[in-house]
Amino acid sequence: MCPDCDDFARTVLLLGQLALYADMLGADDDFIEAVGPSLAASLPEPPPGTFPPGYDPADGPDYPGDPS
């Protein structure tokens, strides 16, 4: 297994758990706002084979509110 695969999987799992926590009644919004971006920024490069060859995450549709 690649050296960053465990870190990537663990961080994605934590992001998923944070998303579930955010949907709970009484979730601490300050905690979510502090931890979410930190977890996302700590994601290592995805393991090889996660995305198809030539995949560009920046190439996609414009989202509402984003400049064209």
Q: Is the pTM of this model over 0.75?
A: no
How confident is the model over 1-33, as pLDDT tens digits?
Answer: 566 678 888 888 999 999 999 999 999 999 999
- What is the full DSSP assignment across 1-47? --TTHHHHHHHHHHHHHHHHHHTSTT--HHHHHHHHHHHHHT--PPP
Query: Domain spans of the chain?
Result: 3-42
